[in-house]
């Protein structure tokens, strides 16, 4: 069975400026009304239209050092032209690494600030009957995904 996959970043950042929240929520609502879908991205402001409609919520609760490493590599790929996504086309060195509000600095700040809130929101989602899978590392995530693909 073919399942529609959507990366929420590609919707949010498809234009020159991020979509306004009401338009972003409407797009997520349309995507998750179908019978089978996979949504990639962590936007807790969409919990009611994405997380709560899911059969399974996969939380990649990765250690900060891995998050920093992956953001660094992703930004370098984008800046070198190896990634042609909408986000990559607008990325600058300052926006990636050096600005006061760089992606790297923002990720570290948000990790520390949001992680406890995510834990609460994930618990609320689980209380609604959504199965939650919490993966804490790359190997654990790879093993879980391989198991899921083997069951198809």
Cα–Cα distances in Å, from 68 out to 8, 25, 81? 20, 28, 20
pLDDT at 55: 93
Q: pLDDT tens for residues 51-81?
A: 999 999 999 999 999 999 999 999 999 998 8
pLDDT score of 152 more than 60:
no
User: Which residues lie below 8 Å from residue 52, measured CB to CB, with a gap of 6+?
Assistant: 125, 128, 130
Q: Residue 78 in contact with residue 96, Cβ under 8 Å? A: yes
pLDDT score of 15 more than 90:
no
Mean pLDDT, range 21-33, rounded to an integer: 93
């Amino acid at each position: 069975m073919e399942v529609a996959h959507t990366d929420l970043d590609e919707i949010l950042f498809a234009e020159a400026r991020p979509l306004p929240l009401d338009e972003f929520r409407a797009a997520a609502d349309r995507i998750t009304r179908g019978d089978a879908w996979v949504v990639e991205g962590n936007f807790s402001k969409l919990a009611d239209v994405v997380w709560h409609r899911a059969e399974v919520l996969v939380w990649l609760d990765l250690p900060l050092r891995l998050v920093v490493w992956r953001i660094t590599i992703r930004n370098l790929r984008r800046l070198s032209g190896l990634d042609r996504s909408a986000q990559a086309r607008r990325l600058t060195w300052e926006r990636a690494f050096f600005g006061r509000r760089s992606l790297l600095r923002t990720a570290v700040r948000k990790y520390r600030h949001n992680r406890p809130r995510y834990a609460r929101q994930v618990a609320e989602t689980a209380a609604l009957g959504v199965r939650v899978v919490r993966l804490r590392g790359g190997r654990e995530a790879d093993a879980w995904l391989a198991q899921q693909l083997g069951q198809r």
